[in-house]
Structure 1
Amino acid sequence: MTALIETRDLTLHMGGQEVLRDVNFALNPREIVTVVGPNGSGKSTFLRSLIGAVRPHSGKVTRKPGLRLGYVPQKLALDPSLPMTVARFLSLPDRIPAHMCAAALAEAGAEGYADRQIADLSGGQLQRVLLARALLNLPEVLLLDEPTQGLDQPGQAAFYRQIEEVRDRLGCAVLLVSHELHVVMSASDRVICLNGHVCCEGHPEVVAQAEEYRALFGTGTGGALALYRHEHTHSHDHDHAHEGCDHA
């Protein structure tokens, strides 16, 4: 299978400091991969390197030629006092037809939001609008940087179910940076744990039992992991490549 995005021995610096070293990674078509790790572990920097916003200090990032990317940032830097409808926001910087706006909003679970003011949206509603914006160009890879920060657990779970439905309908791959592993894991095909390097990676249940993961996150997420599990249309075997957790 040809990877959509791949890194080889990727090392990233920010402000003269090394934040990630020697990361080898590949994202395959239709795969949902969640990246977890403590604050300052390099998660967001890694994501930004994949879209070309951060240049590697060493190693390289390879993307499939012509790859269409959709990106949902961690937060939206928008003046809340600025009057702007959702439709106008989706048309920045280039105006898009109303039917494309409506289709993207429907895909993101935000049907009927077009005429609402951005400033009037709740946190969860705004995240769905940001998702709609990322879906406008029908991405082959959808990248999301902690998209549910500030949402309660039901809101997080609903948003991640939406992401899984988007993947199933559009056939895109998803790369998700998360700080809430216990909600995310049930929708993920693979989890990568970062802390300056790849601590461990593999199927969610494998990572959840890994000593490296437990050292970073503790052991109290097992019940919630089961609570948020829901039916999948496909299954993944536990003996895939990269299963298990090893120190980099």
Structure 2
Amino acid sequence: MSELITAQGLSVRHGDTEVLHGIDFTISPGEIVTVVGPNGSGKSTLVRALIGLEPAARGAVARKPGLKIGYVPQKLHIDASLPMTVRRFLSLPKRVSDARAGAALERTGVPHLGARQIARLSGGQFQRVLLARALLIEPDILILDEPTQGLDQPGTAGFYKLIEEVRAETGAAVLMVSHDLHVVMSASDRVICLNGHVCCQGTPKVVSEAPEYRALFGMGTQGAFALYQHDHDHGDEHSDHATCHHDPEHDSEHDHEHAHV
């Protein structure tokens, strides 16, 4: 298979609740795909199902044989009283050399943090350390679940710029879950708008103009899309049309609420 990950007719249940319904999804080598959606729309559940941490109630997920996944979770709680340096953290669960650890920290912009205690890192520093750890396996795909949650706007913009640089240098595909609509559109080749099902997907420009997207997020991000067109015009590289689906049976209570971004 040429695609790294493919899902067909994927549905996921949490108890009696169907969280995801009829998801068709692919990600190809080298592309940056971002999943957006309101709170409770199933974004994190989708990511966990794609990497095998959530079982499918129906449908199937296929991953390319030997696929190496670098995963940066939404939250990782480390006991503040636990003495652990960044360097030691990078060697969990498998020891890596000082040279490789140093190179990974250099690549993510925090080469000076090796001796720092994990508990003393800022939110932005910790996310960069998590990314460095994910890069150590030389992944085919980086999967990041709301990696900038809690960061300020400059920190968020800097982190997404770093992701674009990593993709350009390593060729790794990137799958991100994000609520940072004002930034994430400019860093994506393709956007999937999720609300229990795939509402629409396509290039950032066409998704931003889709009525299904605007029903969820309103009209407040148009300035960001104008910036996207100016700075990231890829011509005809991708489809000019969003694929949109309205599924009234699975509209959630969030369908007409605006996301908080």
What TM-score do you get using the length of structure 2 for normalisation? Answer: 0.89
8 Å contact from structure 1 (residues 33, 190) kept in 2: yes
Aligned to 1:93: 93
Aligned to 1:243: 242
Shift in alpha-carbon separation, 1:61–1:85, aligned structure 2, 3 A: same
Structure 2: state its 5+ residue gaps. Answer: 248-261
Distance 1:227 1:80 in 2: 40
- Following superposition, the deviation at residue 239 of structure 1 comes to 5.7
Aligned to 2:113: 113
Distance 1:165 1:239 in 2: 20
Partner-residue secondary structure (3-state), 1:192 = strand
One-letter code of the match for 1:243?
A
One-letter code of the match for 1:3?
E
Aligned to 1:24: 24
| 1:36-79: CA deviation from partner (whole Å, max 9, x where unpaired) | 00111110010011111111001000011000000000011101
Alignment of 1:189-204 (within 5 A): 189-204=189-204
Aligned to 1:136: 136
Q: CA RMSD in A?
A: 1.9
8 Å contact from structure 2 (residues 37, 179) kept in 1: yes
Distance 1:104 1:18 in 2: 39
Shift in alpha-carbon separation, 1:46–1:242, aligned structure 2, 3 A: farther
| 1:125-155: CA deviation from partner (whole Å, max 9, x where unpaired) | 1100011111110000100000001111111
- Following superposition, the deviation at residue 107 of structure 1 comes to 1.9
- Following superposition, the deviation at residue 110 of structure 1 comes to 1.8
One-letter code of the match for 1:105?
L
Distance 1:239 1:171 in 2: 18
8 Å contact from structure 2 (residues 208, 225) kept in 1: no
8 Å contact from structure 2 (residues 198, 244) kept in 1: no
Shift in alpha-carbon separation, 1:241–1:18, aligned structure 2, 3 A: farther
- Following superposition, the deviation at residue 236 of structure 1 comes to 5.0
Shift in alpha-carbon separation, 1:239–1:227, aligned structure 2, 3 A: closer
Identity %: 62
Alignment of 1:46-61 (within 5 A): 46-61=46-61
Aligned to 2:255: none
One-letter code of the match for 1:237?
D
Shift in alpha-carbon separation, 1:229–1:129, aligned structure 2, 3 A: farther
One-letter code of the match for 1:142?
L
Higher mean alpha-carbon deviation, 104-113 vs 214-223, is at 104-113
Structure 1: state its 5+ residue gaps. Answer: none
Alignment of 1:151-230 (within 5 A): 151-227=151-227
Aligned to 2:127: 127
Distance 2:135 2:96 in 1: 13
Distance 2:16 2:101 in 1: 41
- Following superposition, the deviation at residue 15 of structure 1 comes to 2.7
Matched length: 247
Aligned to 2:5: 5
8 Å contact from structure 1 (residues 189, 236) kept in 2: no
